Amino acid sequence: LPKMYLTVFTVYLFISVAYAQFPRRCTDSESLRARECCPTFTDDSKCGESSNRGICSPINTAPLDLTRNETIQLLLDDRAFWPRAFYDRACRCYGNFDGLDCSSCKAGYQGDNCDVRSALRIRRNFTSMDKTDIQKFVTILDESKRVTSKNYVILVTSYDRILAGEAPEFLNISVYNLFVWMHAYVSRDNLVFQDDVINSADVDYAHEGPAFLPWHRYYLLKWEQELRDVVANDVTFTIPYWDWRDNQDCDVCNDVMMGGNDADNVTLISQGSPISKWEIICSKGNDYIEGGSQCTGASEGPLLRSPGNYDPTKISGLPTSQEVDDVIVMSTAYDTDDYDVAANQSFRNLVEGFANTTTGVADPSKSYLHNAVHLFMNGTMSEVATSANDPIFVLHHAYVDSLYELWLRRRGIQGRFDVTEGVQLGHRADDFMVPFFPLVRNRAGFATSTRLGYVYDYMVDDVINDVAS
Ligand SMILES: *[C@@H]1O[C@H](CO)[C@@H](O)[C@H](O)[C@H]1NC(C)=O
Ligand SMILES: *[C@@H]1O[C@H](CO)[C@@H](O)[C@H](O)[C@H]1NC(C)=O
Ligand SMILES: *[C@@H]1O[C@H](CO)[C@@H](O)[C@H](O)[C@H]1NC(C)=O
Ligand SMILES: *[C@@H]1O[C@H](CO)[C@@H](O)[C@H](O)[C@H]1NC(C)=O
Ligand SMILES: *[C@@H]1O[C@H](CO)[C@@H](O)[C@H](O)[C@H]1NC(C)=O
Ligand SMILES: *[C@@H]1O[C@H](CO)[C@@H](O)[C@H](O)[C@H]1NC(C)=O
Ligand SMILES: *[C@@H]1O[C@H](CO)[C@@H](O)[C@H](O)[C@H]1NC(C)=O
Ligand SMILES: [Cu+2]
């Protein structure tokens, strides 16, 4: 059964005790054998050590108490304790240096020493942009579907085969599909082979837990950066957001924007949009691992979308401005016990969409806010593993990220989340986000957007204080 953005009927994997996009430069046999991802900087030293930019050092992953069978299964999951299944050492960059080899700067900084704050980039309201800017954005997305990623490749060998001694195989992928692959990789089940039986555990390192908002914040930041550097070649490039509040229909579903519906087949995109030619990847759930591979990145048919074709027992259309307002002001912690879809009065669970927006009480049999928008679209957007194939995903998540930003600004320091007890592996503040490279901890995603170098157009007036403090 594919994982949908709605109900969670599965038994929760309850671990209460307690870029894999792969950088091309670290996938040669030497790096893999040495279990080290410490490429050399232009000064010929690993991680720019000679230039005092960083150092090749052991990767410290927060430990987990191994007292339950489920946690033992995690030892057979290539994503657990990211990136320890593949590497023991990576560059640790000093100060604001960043990048695989410490050659670049952390988001929000620039200059030779990465000590200059970069000008804030503004993420704009998609439906109020000029028609030419909208078309420019669609063209960049469409190109990104064809341009091969220079810096990253995807892993296509399943972990059980790697554990059995096979050398992992990597393939080229387009910039757009790289991000689809990452989203499918982080959210797929963990399949554990025991004799003739395959046990499937519903783990997810980016959804249904505290990592949801910081993970998607970083994911969009990386995606935006890749589109900017590789496709747009425009330092001011940003992704826009889609404000879906109170929409009766899908106002971005027309041929100028994200594509209208095909007149002959309501599940397809209109041929007046280049997106109608897009093919999706990663739509086969557990079949890949069962067949000894990861999602292979191969084309698997057209993008499917049928806005408004939803199950009325799960949602009642797109979310309203009332719901958004309620959730921002409701007195909630960032996340609460059990730190999953059952969490009550949890901002994360409310925005993700597993809790009633009026009461704050968990209600995973229905879908709200973020989840509701996914389900509203039907088709490709409605399943976690495939959703990023639809470019509406980018616009939708940018708006969700802006709601997270509104909340962070209201709460200030309370936006931090340091609970570890009862939090699933991968979701704790000090866990590295799966599958990003260079490595980044969830903690980094609790920074306000201004600190990461961007701002939403409807919050520009509020940023001065934040940068100064
Ligand atoms: C682990 O699984 C085995 C076999 O299924 C069972 O006998 C044992 O009680 C389980 N241990 C824990 C800690 O759940
Ligand atoms: C975005 O633009 C639409 C009009 O196209 C407007 O209704 C909406 O309020 C705007 N959203 C924000 C957050 O500014
Ligand atoms: C992958 O892309 C790189 C760089 O564009 C190229 O050198 C290499 O031959 C490609 N590999 C395959 C298997 O297509
Ligand atoms: C619509 O397109 C989908 C995907 O190609 C296809 O599976 C389906 O049969 C088509 N439906 C009709 C009515 O042609
Ligand atoms: C998508 O639409 C079909 C046909 O109306 C419906 O059976 C299905 O439940 C819908 N899927 C979702 C996720 O709403
Ligand atoms: C959430 O609240 C509901 C209703 O009050 C309660 O039944 C449920 O046990 C609570 N969940 C948790 C995880 O505390
Ligand atoms: C949310 O809770 C309120 C108050 O109990 C209730 O009236 C409303 O129907 C619930 N919303 C949904 C979508 O179930
Ligand atoms: Cu997601």
Residues shown for the chain: 469
And the tokens for 166? Answer: 């096979």
And the tokens for 396? Answer: 């939708």
Q: Which atom of ligand 1 is nearest to the CA of 69?
A: 1
- What helix, strand, coil percent values describe the chain, rounded to 5? 35, 15, 55
Distance 404 CA to ligand 7 centre (A): 23
Q: Binning pLDDT at 50, 70 and 90, where does residue 3 land?
A: low
Q: Which of 22-36, 128-142, 292-306, 416-430 has the lowest mean pLDDT?
A: 416-430
| Cβ count within 10 A of residue 123 | 24
Q: Which of 10-14, 181-185, 424-428 has the lowest mean pLDDT?
A: 10-14
Asked if residue 276 has its Cβ within 6 Å of ligand 4, the reply is: no
Q: Where are the alpha helices (DSSP H) in 83-211?
A: 131-144, 159-163, 175-187
CA of residue 455 relative to chain centroid, distance: 19
- The mean per-residue pLDDT over the stretch 375-381 comes to 98
Is residue 434 within 8 A of residue 80, CB to CB? The reply is: no
| Cβ count within 10 A of residue 160 | 16
Distance 391 CA to ligand 4 centre (A): 20
Asked if residue 24 has its Cβ within 6 Å of ligand 3, the reply is: no
Distance 125 CA to ligand 2 centre (A): 6
What is the residue with the minimal CA distance to atom 1 of ligand 7? 356
What is the residue with the minimal CA distance to atom 11 of ligand 3? 172
Distance 102 CA to ligand 3 centre (A): 24
Distance 232 CA to ligand 3 centre (A): 21
pLDDT digits (tens, 9 = 90+) for 251-277: 999 999 999 999 999 999 999 999 999
Considering only CA atoms, which of 78, 243, 100 is closest in space to residue 163? 78
Ligand with the closest atom to the CA of 244: 2
Residue 446's φ and ψ, nearest 5 degrees, are -95, 0
CA of residue 413 relative to chain centroid, distance: 23
Asked if residue 359 has its Cβ within 6 Å of ligand 7, the reply is: yes
Mean pLDDT, the chain, as a whole number?
91
Is residue 399 within 8 A of residue 242, CB to CB? The reply is: yes
Q: pLDDT above 90 covers what percent of the chain?
A: 83
What is the pTM assigned to this prediction? 0.93
Q: Which of 72-81, 128-137, 342-351 has the lowest mean pLDDT?
A: 72-81
And the tokens for 54? Answer: 């960083």
The one-letter code for the residue type at 299 is: S
Q: Binning pLDDT at 50, 70 and 90, where does residue 6 land?
A: very low
Q: Residue written as tokens 């025991």?
A: 194
Is residue 125 within 8 A of residue 240, CB to CB? The reply is: yes
Q: Which residue segments constitute the domains of the chain, with CATH numbers given?
A: 119-153+169-308+377-468 (1.10.1280.10)
Q: Which atom of ligand 6 is nearest to the CA of 338?
A: 13
Distance 34 CA to ligand 8 centre (A): 32
What pLDDT does residue 194 have? 78
pLDDT digits (tens, 9 = 90+) for 69-112: 666 778 889 999 999 999 999 999 999 999 999 999 999 999 99
Considering only CA atoms, which of 374, 338, 292 is closest in space to residue 7? 374
pLDDT digits (tens, 9 = 90+) for 385-432: 999 999 999 999 999 999 999 999 988 766 678 888 889 899 999 999
